[in-house]
Amino acid sequence: MARPALLALPVAAFVLWAVSRSRRPSSAPARGSSPAPSSAPFQDSRRLNTLDAIVPAARPAFEALLTEARRRGFRPSVISAVRTCEEQRQVKSVPRSWHMLGRAIDLELPGGTPEEYTSLGEWWEAQGGTWGGRWTEQYPVAPCGPVGMRGDPCHFQFTPGLRMDDVWPSGEACETVTARYLAEQGGAWNPAEGWRAVA
């Protein structure tokens, strides 16, 4: 009886991911343009599918990750970068996420094997990042990546020296925390204001 319940979360996450991908326009807005913030979840492909909204302190690490994935022969695809509070509520039951704070991406390696995801995850960990493929107890069936994997192999976050409890006190409202944190980081996607300049 427990198995269907365990599958519900990964299946829901996959469905939402697939819907967001199907709504993605053929090309992202040109760098420097400022699309109006959309109130509808999963509509802003620039925020979700590029590194444009990642906080400045973490962006070079993610650029290096994409470069490394390409060096290994992949055409990596960012399937979920910075999420709004509402999007996070729809995707996962976890109320606090580094995705909302501009320090995590979900990265797809089309055609990648479990061994290739693991190898890239290990490379990422050597750079100081956290790889979701280690979270096998939390995700007995992977919500993305190759069939048969456990954990969250598409999830890569860059939070060296940071603790979620320090950044996001338990019980504090998502919108309050994200607006404050992203502003402190020099600007990025802010659910209340839309795009702001990233230094």
Give CATH for domain 2-17+42-184: 3.30.1380.10
Calpha distance 43→24 (Å, rounded): 7
- In terms of phi and psi (left: phi > 0; alpha: psi -120 to 50; beta: otherwise), the region of 171 is left
What integer pLDDT is reported at residue 191 of this predicted model?
A: 53
Q: Could you read off the pLDDT of 20-38 as tens digits, one per residue?
A: 443 333 333 333 333 344 4
Q: Provide the residue type at 114 as one letter.
A: P
Query: CA nearest 133: which of 152, 158, 109, 117?
Result: 152
* Average pLDDT for 50-59: 91
Domain limits of the chain?
A: 2-17+42-184
What integer pLDDT is reported at residue 198 of this predicted model?
A: 52
Q: Could you read off the pLDDT of 113-169 as tens digits, one per residue?
A: 999 999 999 999 999 999 999 999 988 999 999 999 999 999 999 999 999 999 998
